[in-house]
């Protein structure tokens, strides 16, 4: 009886040694040991040990490289992100509806319009041939922008979003499409002439923006006041709950146009705010496609036409489309 069992075990191991089909099964592991070999190669005595290469360091990011994006790529039009958008039938864009001149609801037509909306429509038209019927504008707050992109609930954010290194760790950006700057809006006759006069004064900015962070750094003795959006700051300003509003000059121009007693301190730009289209960090193909759209807008003059229509009359500044900086790798 014992001889029969021993013979059966030898036959089983012999079959395992001959069988390559058993791969990673438990029997194959037994056969590897019994057949007297190990799949892991041993270094030869006369060879130096192989050094494991260190993981690639993440790209550096600073004030000079923050606006660097992915170069346009014609092949991006066939990427997975664009295929998903085409299959859905429309582009989903997170936008503002209360940023007059950038993205605000027209009280007569009910449509959302402005400079940022023109960027959205240009991207949708490049995908579908026309924007009409192929855009879903989702009104969001500044604080919503990054979480919704990370959750992949929206395709892009076109909501006066500043490109910076911290945000590059969370999402991806197109090339810069406009250069704004943070300023102060105050009440006429308030005595506030510059940021230096904000000591002990209240300054409002929306939650989730770089503006509230900047004012705390630039004027540490100012009293920060927050609201969910820019219109909320304007309401607080008109109700006497804040002495100033601080945000991008593009936004302040729209707020000042709605309040005859407000003025923007135009002589002092507190920061530089490069705007980019926000995209989920895993959708580099969409970023490349958008950058191609912006290149076409530069060539055909459509960017300039949008700026001249929406922003130039209020900012009273001649501006041209920012020069893109490429070289970042997804």
Computed on alpha carbons and rounded to an integer, the radius of gyration of the chain in Å comes to 29
CA atoms within 13 A on the CB side of 145: 29
User: 68-180+274-317 and 182-264 share one CATH topology?
Assistant: yes
Answer for the pair 296, 41: CB distance below 8 angstroms, yes or no: no
Chain centroid to Cα 16, Å, comes to: 55
List per-residue pLDDT tens for the chain, 330 residues long.
444 434 444 444 344 333 443 343 333 333 333 333 333 343 444 444 444 444 344 457 998 899 999 999 999 999 999 999 999 999 999 999 999 999 999 999 999 999 999 999 999 999 999 999 999 999 999 999 999 999 999 999 999 999 999 999 999 999 999 999 999 999 999 999 999 999 999 999 999 898 988 998 999 999 999 999 999 999 999 999 999 999 999 999 999 999 999 999 987 789 999 999 999 999 999 999 999 999 999 999 999 999 999 999 999 899 999 999 999 987
CA distance 77 to 271: 35
| C-alpha dihedral, 113 to 119 to 124 to 126, nearest 10° | 140
Report the CATH number of the 182-264 domain.
3.40.190.10
Architecture in CATH of 68-180+274-317:
3-Layer(aba) Sandwich (3.40)
What is the pTM for the complete model shown?
0.80
- The two tokens of residue 138 are 């989702």
Q: Where are the domains of the chain?
A: 68-180+274-317, 182-264
């Amino acid at each position: 009886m014992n001889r029969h069992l021993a013979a059966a075990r030898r036959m089983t191991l012999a079959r395992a040694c001959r069988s390559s089909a058993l791969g990673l099964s438990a029997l194959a592991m037994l056969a590897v040991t019994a057949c007297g070999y190990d799949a892991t190669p041993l270094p030869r005595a006369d060879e130096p040990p192989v050094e494991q290469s260190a993981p690639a360091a993440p790209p550096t990011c600073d004030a000079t490289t923050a606006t660097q994006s992915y170069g346009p790529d014609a092949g991006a039009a066939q990427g997975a992100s664009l295929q998903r958008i085409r299959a859905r039938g429309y582009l989903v864009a997170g936008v503002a509806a209360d940023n007059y001149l950038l993205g605000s609801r027209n009280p007569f037509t009910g449509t959302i319009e402005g400079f940022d909306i023109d960027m959205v429509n240009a991207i949708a038209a490049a995908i579908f041939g026309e924007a009409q019927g192929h855009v879903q504008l989702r009104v969001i707050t500044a604080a919503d922008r990054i979480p919704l992109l990370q959750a992949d609930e929206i395709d892009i954010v076109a909501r006066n979003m500043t490109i910076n290194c911290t945000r590059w760790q969370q999402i991806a950006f197109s090339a810069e499409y406009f250069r704004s700057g943070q300023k102060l809006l105050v009440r006429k006759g308030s005595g506030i002439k510059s940021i230096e006069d904000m000591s002990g004064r209240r300054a409002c900015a929306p939650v989730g923006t770089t503006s509230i962070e900047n004012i705390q750094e630039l004027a540490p003795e100012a009293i920060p006041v927050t609201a969910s959006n820019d219109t909320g700051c304007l309401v607080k300003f008109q109700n006497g709950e804040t002495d100033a509003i601080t945000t991008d000059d593009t936004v302040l121009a729209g707020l000042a146009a709605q309040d005859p007693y407000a003025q923007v301190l135009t002589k002092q730009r507190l920061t530089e705010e490069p705007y980019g289209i926000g995209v989920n960090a895993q959708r580099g193909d969409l970023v490349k496609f958008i950058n191609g759209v912006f290149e076409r807008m530069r060539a055909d003059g459509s960017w300039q036409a949008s700026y001249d229509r929406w922003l130039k009359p209020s900012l009273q500044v001649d501006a041209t489309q920012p020069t893109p900086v490429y070289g970042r790798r997804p």
